[in-house]
Amino acid sequence: MNDGGTSAEAGAAPRAASRRPLIAGNWKMNAGGQDACPLSAAVAKATRELTRAEVVVAPPFTAIAAVAHELAEAKSEVGIAAQNMSAEVSGAFTGEVSSGMLKDAGATWVILGHSERRQLFAETDESVARKVASAMAAELRPIVCVGETLEQREAGETLAVVERQVRAVLDELAKQPGFGVIAYEPVWAIGTGKVARAEDAQEVHAFIRGLLAKASEDLAGVTRILYGGSVKADNAEALLAQDDIDGALVGGASLDAAGFAKIVDAAHRLAERAEQG
């Protein structure tokens, strides 16, 4: 990828055994009603044996409690993420949902700073950083999304944009290395079917790891960096095989349990192969 220069060294830390691949399904504003439980049950069933990968689903707020109940009944290891939360703990914030409410409902993860939140709901690096701090204080694991728009990419600004977004949350993530996750999602690849070339994605992931290493080598070694943007069963393996791609944040393809399970399977098999040397 030809992009503007920045200072972080790429690929600062080798793939660590502690970075179990994580495949998270962001349902976005879908499957928030009657369809949430059958979908989560189908994901649980289809991924049960794929234990080398960690699996998370992110239903809309309205379905979190029902999905948590469904997964508990199934004795499933599939985790639950919310798609957003308030940085505030409680009070007069009509329409907002706090970290405590999400935990009570059964979430242990929260997606923060998704590009749809940044673009459509005016979230900024500062507001995302506040949310990350609030989530971590409540022991809710953040999946922090970063990524450039097409315009920024074409202007050669990819690494500068990603650096700015990562730096905004670096101090928080460094407080508890490995607790939070970063998802690199080039905005032009989200929901468009235009997936980043694996080597281009790897370059940005290595760059992000280099930024983490500036805070601490430990942080760089244990932080999982997911790729997101039109990940599907047929392109997952090439992406997940990259040294610094530790999983995927899947949108559209996570609404089909069988297709989603194929992505999890790719991560599981790659991890198995890596273990066998």
Ligand X SMILES: O=C[C@H](O)COP(=O)(O)O
Q: Using CB under 6 A, list all residues that contact ligand X.
A: 26, 114, 185, 190-191, 228-231, 249-253
CB of 52 to ligand X, least distance (A): 22
Q: Please indicate if the annotation marks 27 as binding a ligand.
A: yes
Please indicate whether residue 268 is annotated as part of the active site. Answer: no
Please give the distance of CA 251 from its chain centroid, rounded to a whole number: 10
CB-based burial label for 30 (10 Å; 0-12, 13-18, 19+): middle
- Report how far residue 182's alpha carbon sits from residue 41's, in angstroms, rounded to the nearest whole number: 26
CB of 214 to ligand X, least distance (A): 26
What residues does 81 pair with on adjacent strands?
109
Please indicate whether residue 114 is annotated as part of the active site. Answer: yes
Which one, 38 or 191, has the nearer CB to ligand X?
191
CB of 30 to ligand X, least distance (A): 10
Which one, 173 or 250, has the nearer CB to ligand X?
250
Residue identified by tokens 């790659």 is: 270
- Report how far residue 235's alpha carbon sits from residue 185's, in angstroms, rounded to the nearest whole number: 15
- Report how far residue 156's alpha carbon sits from residue 153's, in angstroms, rounded to the nearest whole number: 5
CB of 104 to ligand X, least distance (A): 24
Q: Please indicate if the annotation marks 30 as binding a ligand.
A: no
Active-site residue (options: 123, 148, 172, 185): 185
Q: Please indicate if the annotation marks 76 as binding a ligand.
A: no
What residues does 57 pair with on adjacent strands?
25, 80
Which one, 106 or 228, has the nearer CB to ligand X?
228
Active-site residue (options: 70, 114, 205, 268): 114
- Report how far residue 268's alpha carbon sits from residue 245's, in angstroms, rounded to the nearest whole number: 14
Which one, 114 or 209, has the nearer CB to ligand X?
114
What residues does 58 pair with on adjacent strands?
26
What residues are annotated to the active site? 114, 185
Annotated binding site for substrate: 26-28, 191, 230, 251-252
